[in-house]
Each structure stands twice: as C-alpha cells, then as structure tokens.
Amino acid sequence: MAMVSVDDVRGYPAAEPVTDLNELIERLEEVITRGSRVPLTNRVMVEEAEALVLIEQLRRSLPRELIQARRVLQERQKIILEAQMEAQKILSTAQERAQYIMSEQGIVNEAKARCEEMLRQAKDQAKRAKGEVDLYALELLSRVEEALQESLSRIQHVKDQVTR
C-alpha cells in the first residue's frame, strides 16, 4: 500500500489518486483482510482513515466511469450527425444533377430514376453507418455496465465483510 498523507480538509489520510475502480476495491479488501479480528465475533477492526480514503476515492472514480459513458454517447451522436450531413450532401448533389439533366426534356425520366437511386443509396449508407455506431456504442456501454456491476458487487462484498 502506498504511503498516505494527511488531508487538511477532511482530517484523514489521503492516498495517491487512483482511477481504476477494481484496484480501489482490491485495496479496500486488502485493508479489511489486514484488519484485526475481534475475538469471538465475525467482526474486523480496520484503520478507519485508510478505509475512508479508499471509499472517498471510489466516490470520485465512479463519476469518471459515468463521464466516459456519456462521452461514448456524445461520440455516437456526432457520428450519426456526420452521417446525416453526408447523406444530405449526397442528396443535394443528386438533386442539383437531376435539375441540370431535367433541363433537357428528353432525359427527364432517366434523371429522375438516377436521382431516386442515389437517394436510396444515401439512405442505405446512412442507415448502415447508424447501425454500426449503435453496435459500437452498445458494446462500449456494455463494458462500462459490466465494470460498474463488478465494482458494485465487490463493494457489497467488502461491506458484508465489514458488517460481520
């Protein structure tokens, strides 16, 4: 365990900042495991300051995980917006070309067919891009969810050990 220093604001030791929730939980388990057993009970006495520092670090780390999930969602929205803008650009180009071709009366039907095909392709491309982004976002959110569930499970385990 790293050396701790006194936190002037709260009055208990503060360890080096750690961002990995699993590492913090493992350190908290270590504090409990190293604690002194109370004879004839299932209780353990631990260094209060050390345990409080780790709990505070856990509190600070959880929002980082949530911020990461929010970033994933924002990135997803950005990718969807870019795909929509690209689709609109393709549509606009198709419409401009269609108008040019339509100025020649004999080619109107052909231009209309080409425009509709380009529009269909643009929509298909946008739909595929959105689907890929959704899958990517879902995968990242699933990983974050798993990490949070694992962390919560470990916290519950540590709480159970402390209350015994």
Name the residue with higher pLDDT: 15 or 57.
57
pLDDT band at 111 (very low <50, low <70, confident <90, very high): confident
pLDDT band at 65 (very low <50, low <70, confident <90, very high): confident
Q: What confidence score (pLDDT) does residue 164 get?
A: 75
pLDDT at 18 over 70: no
Q: What confidence score (pLDDT) does residue 106 get?
A: 56
Please give the structure tokens belonging to residue 91.
Answer: 């549509």
CB contact at 8 A, 50 and 31: yes
Percent of the chain exceeding pLDDT 90 equals: 29
Quick one: 129 exposed, middle or buried, by C-beta within 10 A (0-12, 13-18, 19+)?
middle
Q: What confidence score (pLDDT) does residue 11 get?
A: 43
pLDDT band at 19 (very low <50, low <70, confident <90, very high): low
Q: Across residues 43-66, what is the average pLDDT? A: 86
Give residue-wise pLDDT tens across range 132-155.
888 888 888 898 899 899 988 988
6's CB contacts (< 8 A; 6+ apart) are 12, 13, 14
Q: What confidence score (pLDDT) does residue 104 get?
A: 66
Name the residue with higher pLDDT: 79 or 19.
79
Q: Across residues 67-89, what is the average pLDDT? A: 89
Q: What is the mean pLDDT of the chain?
A: 81
In the chain, domain spans: 5-163
Name the residue with higher pLDDT: 151 or 15.
151
List % helix, strand, coil for the chain (3-state, nearest 5).
80, 5, 15
pLDDT at 15 over 60: no
